[in-house]
Copies of this chain bind each other. A is one copy, B any other.
Amino acid sequence: MTIKDIAAKCGVSVSTVSRVLNNQPYVKQDVRDKVMKVIEEEHFVPHEGAVSLAKTQEDSFGVIIRGINNPFFSEMVTVILQRGHEMGYSTYLHQIRSCDDEIGEAASLAKSRKLKGVILLGGNFDRTEEEIRQIDVPIVCCTFTNKFGVVPKEIFSSVSIDDEAAAYKAVSYLISEGHKKIAVVLPSVDDKSISELRYMGYCKAMKEAGLAVTDDLIIATGDYSMEEAYAGVKAALERKAKFTAIFGISDLIALASMKALSDAGYKIPGKCSVIGIDGIDMTSYFIPTLTTLVQPRDVIAQRAVEILIGAIEEPGEGTHEIVEAQLRIGESVKKI
């Protein structure tokens, strides 16, 4: 009788038995009791090294990252690795390019690497049920909230901010500081993704305040890069677009917008205010410090791991959690 036989007899994974033997956390009491009962019934004594053997054959989950150069994701990865390690899992990091199909990659990796589950950072929203079902292990998305609703909520889990609400909060803050002409810098107004959701929040705040969203206030740049955001704001200033504040829908976009303003001779926030969303660490070192809506990165990363491991060890319906983004006041917004 080996630790594998015990696992098979209990209908749980080897790592669960290992966790029980090692008296580690994250095994539900009823599962723990069942395992201990079988161990006692079978008079099972782990042979020398069985415990550590089970440990070296530890379960892995994957993290698929679209754009490791996004500091928000790399900051999340640090916390995910730590939490995974604490919970007895090793982690397989996989970066994909923005043109890659993250669902296909995740599905093939899960098979080839025998991953027990997958966390997706970044990625598209226009997915079908059939596509998601290619991945035959539990999935947790940290940016995909299925807001446009084509995928059944049961077949994946998510933990993220409410992008529309965070954008609404950012723009409402600018309005409360007296701004009326507020430009938005974003990849696209209709990408069925984060950009569209944050644009919806912008529109909602403007509309509620009775402010017009005119075409010259919308600076759509095609992608999430700093290069394009910089070029977009530069072009808007050259065509004399009139605004007193910019809402960049990500911190990187907001930072690039600040640089374009500065290079055109605009003082920030003297002549133009700027606000972002994400709360990446680097924003605190910019001159001026960026005012931004901070995603509770550590909470998202930790919960993503906990939800994933929960789903691996006790499969069930999807879990969906929303966490709140908090305003961090820097130096880039001025009352007018």
Contact = CB atoms under 8 A, between A and B. Distances in A.
Contact of A285 (B56, B81, B226, B284): B226
A95 B93 contact: yes
A69 B281 contact: yes
A112 B52 CA distance: 14
Interface string A64-100: 0000110100110110011000000000111101000
A255 interface: yes
A285 B255 contact: yes
A11 to B, nearest CB: 27
A259 B285 contact: yes
Chain A: interface size category: 20 to 34
B71 A69 contact: yes
A34 B49 CA distance: 45
A256 interface: yes
Nearest to A81: B95
A230 interface: yes
A287 interface: yes
A229 B74 CA distance: 21
Given A71-B69, A226-B285, A258-B287, A92 B95 contact: no
A329 interface: no
Contacts of A285: 226, 230, 255-256, 258-259
A71 B73 CA distance: 12
Contacts of A81: 95
Interface string A93-114: 1110100000000000000100
- Oligomer copy total: 2
Contacts of A71: 69, 71, 74
A24 interface: no
A87 B15 CA distance: 35
B56 A112 contact: yes
Interface string A155-194: 0000000000000000000000000000000000000000
A282 interface: yes
Nearest to A96: B81
A256 to B, nearest CB: 6
A286 B255 CA distance: 8
A221 to B, nearest CB: 15
Interface string A252-293: 000110110010000010000000000001101111010000
A230 B287 CA distance: 13
B69 A78 contact: yes
Contacts of A289: 259
A282 to B, nearest CB: 6
Contacts of A262: 287
Given A68-B74, A268-B287, 4 more contacts: A68-B68, A69-B71, A71-B71, A259-B289
Closest 5 CB pairs of A and B: A93-B93, A259-B285, A262-B287, A68-B74, A287-B287
